[in-house]
Amino acid sequence: MAGIYIHIPFCKQKCYYCNFYSVASIKNKDRFLEVLKKEIYHQRKYLKNEIVNTIYFGGGTPSMFSKNEIEDVYAELIKHFNIGDSVEVTVEVNPDDLNKKKLDEFKSSVINRLSIGVQSFFDEDLHYLNRIHDSKQAINSIRWALDSGFSNLSIDLIYGIPTLSLENWKKNLELFFELNIPHLSSYALTIEPKTPLKHLIEKKKISAINEKDLVAHFDLLLELTEMNDFIHYEISNFSKKDYYSKHNSLYWLGRNYLGLGPSAHSFNGLSRQWNISNLTQYLKHTNSKSIIQEREVLTAAQKYNEYVMTSIRTLWGCDLEHINNVFGKTFRNHCLKASQKHILSKQLLLTKNVLYLTSSGKIFADGITADLFINS
Ligand code: SF4
């Protein structure tokens, strides 16, 4: 099982919190598609003919592309990769790009899963985040997607936004349940370096994030998703049975993937590589001029750290037996020793040689993971 990620580096405007690579202009779209096809050809051997079970158009804003443009890219992938019969083809979409006609077209194409960037159903939160859509567009886009027949549907919601009261966060979640969507990705608002959000908060131009509110939002998220029979299968992801994201699961299970487009990352089990985060440079890609910015062969410690970081955040947990078999006894013993204080404080649970985050440990996932790492 392998996957392909395609980074579409265009957005209509930059959201304040975003640190993904994209440009707020579509003027190089056609040239980008030409170069992307060239890159698909050049990377055709990367996955060594493994079956591709998931293709993910992320960004940026892939919904700025038409059905034909997405199918054009897909046709190129089919030519050069071993695409599985039940491949999941996900497209990230933004509410302001959607209407019933476009969603009907998407539904009649190869796309069989949508991930809608809702973030909040309240205009004041969307305004704080500098999202381009409003709450009405968010609700309409979901209803249209469901009407068009997209049953494999996910939305993103952000919590911890300073303008979002606990009461409104509850309303956001209740509306999500009411709309009968089988998958939710829900992230804490974080202040990433070099983002407008960081700058505006530092200059006191907008309110700062309150950690206590953020924790209260997270607790409510866990409580309500459980009450509504959602499986909390990864720290930020909740799903009805059989609706796990195939693509994200691939990252968490350490499978191979190829990333295409500016800033996209690839992993083949031995090394990691990533493309330049610069559209102008990317567009200069030719047969002789590579767009790979860097490639690093992973050390045993790096591979162990990656396994710990991804597995501990999931429902399947961090398996000490797996660590023993793949990395050796020293790594296993380190992990067990480093986890002791978190087991004692009931933030980790050790059952049948597998470590799991407890409900009270989930909010501290990043810190706990760092404690289990080995310096590489
Ligand atoms: S639309 Fe998505 S990728 Fe574009 S700026 Fe906003 S969060 Fe970032």
Q: Express each pLDDT in 58-67 by its tens digit.
A: 999 999 999 9
Ligand 1: centre distance to CA 99 (Å) = 19
pLDDT tens by residue, 34-78: 999 999 999 999 999 999 999 999 999 999 999 999 999 999 999
Distance 197 CA to ligand 1 centre (A): 13
> Which one has a higher pLDDT value, 266 or 1?
266
HEC string of the chain?
CEEEEEEECECCCCCCCCCCCCECCCCCHHHHHHHHHHHHHHCCCCCCCCEEEEEEEEECCHHHCCHHHHHHHHHHHHHHCEEEEEEEEEEEECHHHCCHHHHHHHHCCCCCEEEEEEECCCHHHHHHHCCCCCHHHHHHHHHHHHHCCCCCEEEEEEECCCCCCHHHHHHHHHHHHHCCCCEEEEEECCCCCCCHHHHHHHCCCCCCCCHHHHHHHHHHHHHHHHHCCCEEEECCEEECCCCCCHHHHHHHCCCEEEEECCCCEEECCCEEEEECCCHHHHCCCCCCCCCEEEEEECCHHHHHHHHHHHHCCECCCEEHHHHHHHHCHHHHHHHHHHHHHHHHCCCEEEECCEEEECHHHHCCHHHHHHHHCCCC
Is omega for the bond preceding 269 within 30 degrees of 0, making it cis?
no
Judged against a pLDDT cut of 70, whether residue 28 lies above it is answered with yes
Q: Which atom of ligand 1 is nearest to the CA of 92?
A: 2
325-345 pLDDT tens trace: 999 999 999 999 999 999 999
Answer whether 57's CB lies under 8 Å from 91's CB: yes
Instruction: Give the residue, out of 14, 91, 115, with the most ligand 1 atoms within 8 A of its beta carbon, to mutate for a pocket test.
Output: 14
Nearest CA to ligand 1 atom 8: 18
- Expressed in angstroms and rounded, the spacing between residue 58 Cα and the centre of ligand 1 is 10
- pLDDT average, residue stretch 286-311: 88
CA-closest residue to ligand 1 atom 6: 15
Q: Percentage of residues in the chain with pLDDT exceeding 90?
A: 95
Q: How far is the CA of 333 from the centre of ligand 1 (A)?
A: 41
Which residues approach ligand 1 with their CB closer than 6 A?
Answer: 11, 14-15, 18, 20, 22, 59-61, 94, 117
pLDDT of residue 286: 72
Q: How confident is the model at residue 314 (pLDDT cuts 50, 70, 90)?
A: very high
Kindly give the number of the ligand 1 atom that is closest to the alpha carbon of 60: 3
pLDDT(21) > 70: yes
Give the per-residue pLDDT at 288.
Answer: 63
* From 7, 15, 120, mutation site for ligand 1 pocket: most ligand atoms within 8 A of C-beta: 15
Q: Residue 293: its pLDDT value, please?
A: 87
| Cα–ligand 1 centroid distance for 167 (angstroms) | 26
Ligand 1: which residue has its CA nearest to atom 7?
18
Q: What is the pLDDT confidence band of residue 357, given thresholds at 50, 70 and 90?
A: very high
Q: Which of 12, 19, 61, 277, when mutated, tests ligand 1's pocket best, judged by the most ligand atoms within 8 Å of its CB?
A: 61
Q: Which fold has domain 300-372?
A: Arc Repressor Mutant, subunit A (1.10.10)
Nearest CA to ligand 1 atom 3: 60
CATH number attached to the domain at 2-251: 3.20.20.70
- Residue limits of CATH 1.10.10.920 in the chain: 300-372
Structure confidence by residue, pLDDT tens digits, 124-160: 999 999 999 999 999 999 999 999 999 999 999 999 9
pLDDT digit string, tens, across residues 230-289? 999 999 999 999 999 999 999 988 899 999 999 999 999 888 999 999 999 999 987 667
Stretch 221-226: mean pLDDT = 98
Q: Model confidence at 181, in pLDDT bands (50, 70, 90)? A: very high
Average pLDDT over residues 281-300: 86
User: Which residue's alpha carbon is at the smallest distance from atom 2 of ligand 1?
Assistant: 60
Q: Which atom of ligand 1 sits closest to the CA of residue 17?
A: 7
Domain with CATH 3.20.20.70 in the chain: 2-251
